Structure 1
Amino acid sequence: MTTMVWVAGWLALLMAHHAVDANSYFNRLLLHSRIRGRSEGPNMCAVQEMEGTEKRYFSSCKTWYRKKICNVPTMVKFECCPGYMKVVGEKGCPAIAPLTNIFSTLEALEASKSRDLVARAGLRAELEMPKAMTMFAPSDAAWAQLDEATRNGLTGSKLKDALRNHMVDKRLLLSDMRHGATLRSQNADGTINVQHYVNGIVTVNCARVLRPNYLATNGVVHLVDRVIAPLTRSVRDILETTESLGTLKAAATAADLMEELEQKGSFTLLAPTNEAFERLPKDVLTRILGDPEALKAVINNHILESVQCSEAVLGNSVVDSREGSPTTLGCEGGEFRINGLSSVAQRDLVATNGVVHTIGDVLIPDSAKTVMELADSAGVTNFVDMFAEAGLMKSLKPGVDYTLLAPNNEATDA
């Protein structure tokens, strides 16, 4: 009987949730976290902390049963769900957190550094005024991640501008910010791009929202895991101004794809470094650079038609490239991986129209390979060796389509 009551209660909660917001990935995540935390008292949420780090995530069904995030074991902890607080002598978090202004709310959110910087910049009065606004407040750890030179340079007008990058002149809950939305920050022409992911992660300019929807008398505060930089460059601008991407820039120019990299949109460029191109066999690189169709296929295989921020990756997921080939995004501990390779050099170079990750490997799709390269990548190495020993390599002429029926190694070893 108890089990039936529990199931009925769970279904009622689920139905109520879907009635409110059927399309919110984050709300579904928070619902699961609340269900897992219910044994600890009212309004308790289960979070999972990666061992050896301070990184916490609301518990999802997948991470709860796997007990791992990015293949790192997790410890389950419990905390008040957003908007609630503990009461001395009572179990869980039975009380609704009292509303104060945004400036005072920062301290309750473990954003005391943001609060101190707001005061130093002379913006305290603005965050106490009775007007509607939203602040994406970097956590104390986020400010500590900045290098010393950057931290020391945040003075006067630079500090004020840096803080205004995190402020929007509207009261916006997560449910008010649709996937792909672009928000105008208070810093001149600054913009904040919002991404919702199916695993419940929400990012703003690739900063992960840690604690959302803390209401204030004059707006709302969302705690984020990094300091948000202003978006001033397109994906093309990043490609053109990054010295380590010179070969990719030349290849994209030759493929007539540079203009597409500055158009409006939301996409991800997995950008091979110069060293990545140098590691290709010379004959393969020469062939690709001399074949316009193969070159275009290779470049398009590094473009994803969505913004994929590294902080949204908690395990392996597959996304098709613009060329059409599947690309696996994954993580291993603190490493962000592409197709299982630990090859991401720089991550989350955020642009006005997407994001760039520099990688140490060139991702060559099947459509840009010769039949013998396909045979080699398929693992039929005995056949490839016999084909070469028979002197047949020169019989495969460029620009001609072939079909090879290649026996696997087990067949040739028999």
Structure 2
Amino acid sequence: MKLRKIQNLLFVGIAILALSSCKDQAKIDADKKAMEEKVAMEEANVKAEEIKMKEEAKQKELMSTSITAVASNNAELSTLVSAVKAANLDKMLSEPGSYTVFAPSNNAFEKLPKKMSIAELGKPENKELLTQILQYHVVSGVITSDKLVAAVKGANGKYTFTTVGGKDITASLTGDKIILKDEKGNKTEVVLGNVKASNGVVHVINNVLLMK
């Protein structure tokens, strides 16, 4: 009788130990899983931060070689840069994208009549007109000099394209020079072409293009 009682107690003890062991193992497994999840989350956060830093560095590099930056580094385009900032277009021309800008030189702006001078256009009440004029000098996509020449030749000497402002410009050739005609019939010449930027290309022109 005593032996059976001892055996029963032994069985109970073993069962308790086994149950306790299972609970300990479950806790160990749960702690291990929690630790693995924490490590994985930390690694993901580190990776996300690295990606963010790389993107920010890339963005900074692109902005430093953008159309706005390229124009800002050219003393002959200082008036244009001031106009672009006044019209709040500098951000658009600094961000990633694909644009062709026909950039009037400082001398080109000086040729404008007094009522169209940059001093007048820069006034708050003339901001909309200034914006329209500047948009008339911007085309979506990259059009290099070679592409423009090829387009002119392929269009029997006159190639018309549309700016981001929805207005047209007609390109033609005089010898090896690219000539642009605006909607008013005025002509300007590309005096410096293919100035590369991270978000497009700049062609310097010697007259301001005007819409009807």
Query: TM above 0.5, one fold?
Result: yes
Letter in 2 for 1:281: P
Give, in whole Å, the separation in 2 of the partners of 1:233 and 1:294.
28
Return the index of the structure with the highest Cα Rg: 2
The CA distance in 1 between the partners of 2:167 and 2:188, in whole Å, is 19
Unmatched 5+ residue regions in structure 2? 1-57, 59-63, 153-157
**Conserved 8 A contact 2:160-2:171:** yes
Instruction: Give structure 1 regions of 4+ aligned residues with deviation exceeding 6 angstroms.
Output: none
Task: Give, in whole Å, the separation in 2 of the partners of 1:234 and 1:346.
Answer: 17
User: How many Å separate the matches in 2 of 1:351 and 1:329?
Assistant: 22
CA deviation string 1:239-278 (max 9, x = no partner): 1110000100000001011010011111101000000000
Tell whether 2:164 aligns with 1:322: yes
C-alpha contact 1:335 1:342 (8 A) present in aligned 2: no
User: Residues of 2 paired with 1:296 and 1:342: CA distance?
Assistant: 20
Aligned counterpart in structure 1 of residue 74 of structure 2, from 242, 248, 266: 242
* Matched length: 136
Q: 5 Å matches for 1:307-386?
A: 307-312=142-147, 313-314=149-150, 315=152, 316-339=158-181, 341-366=187-212
Work out the CA distance in 2 between the residues paired with 1:297 and 1:329. Answer: 20
- Decide whether the 8 Å contact of 2:188 with 2:208 is kept in 1: no
User: Matched residues in 1 for 2:146 and 2:99: separation?
Assistant: 16
Question: Which of 274, 293, 301 in structure 1 is aligned with 2:106?
Answer: 274
Q: What letter is aligned with 1:273?
A: S
Letter aligned with residue 134 of structure 2: I
Matches of 2:81 and 2:131 in 1, distance apart? 13
Task: Choose the corresponding residue for 1:297, options 132, 137, 162.
Answer: 132
**Mapping of residues 78-157 of structure 1, within 5 Å:** none
Contact 1:252 1:299 in 2 (8 A): yes
* Aligned-pair CA distance for 1:364: 1.9
Residue 342 of structure 1: CA displacement? 4.9
SS of 1:262's equivalent in the other structure is coil
Q: Deviations for 1:184-222, whole angstroms, at most 9, x for unmatched residues? A: xxxxx9xxxxxxxxxxxxxxxxxxxxxxxxxxxxxxxxx
- Checking the alignment, whether the CA contact within 8 Å between 1:273 and 1:359 is kept in structure 2 is yes
Unaligned runs of 5+ in 1: 1-188, 190-231, 367-414
**CA distance in structure 2 between the aligned counterparts of 1:287 and 1:253, rounded to whole angstroms:** 15
Equivalent residue for 2:7? none
Deviation at 1:327, TM superposition (A): 1.1
Distance 1:317 1:295 in 2: 26
Superposed counterparts of 1:175-214, under 5 Å:
none
TM-score with structure 2 setting the length? 0.60
- Kindly provide the CA deviation profile for residues 19-43 of structure 1, in whole angstroms up to 9, marking residues without a partner as x: xxxxxxxxxxxxxxxxxxxxxxxxx
In structure 2, the residue corresponding to 1:361 is in which secondary structure? coil
Deviations 1:167-193 (A, max 9, x none): xxxxxxxxxxxxxxxxxxxxxx9xxxx
1:309 CA displacement: 0.8
Aligned to 1:261, what secondary structure does the other structure show?
Answer: coil
**1:130 is matched with which residue?**
none
2:127 is aligned with what amino acid?
A: P
Residue 261 (str. 1) matches residue 96 (str. 2) = no
Kindly provide the CA deviation profile for residues 285-333 of structure 1, in whole angstroms up to 9, marking residues without a partner as x: 1442220100111111110012111112232211111111101122222
Alpha-carbon deviations, 1:107-151, whole Å to 9, x = none? Answer: xxxxxxxxxxxxxxxxxxxxxxxxxxxxxxxxxxxxxxxxxxxxx
Q: Which structure ranks higher in relative contact order (CA pairs < 8 Å, sequence separation ≥ 6)?
A: 2
8 Å CA contact 2:108, 2:206 repeated in 1: yes
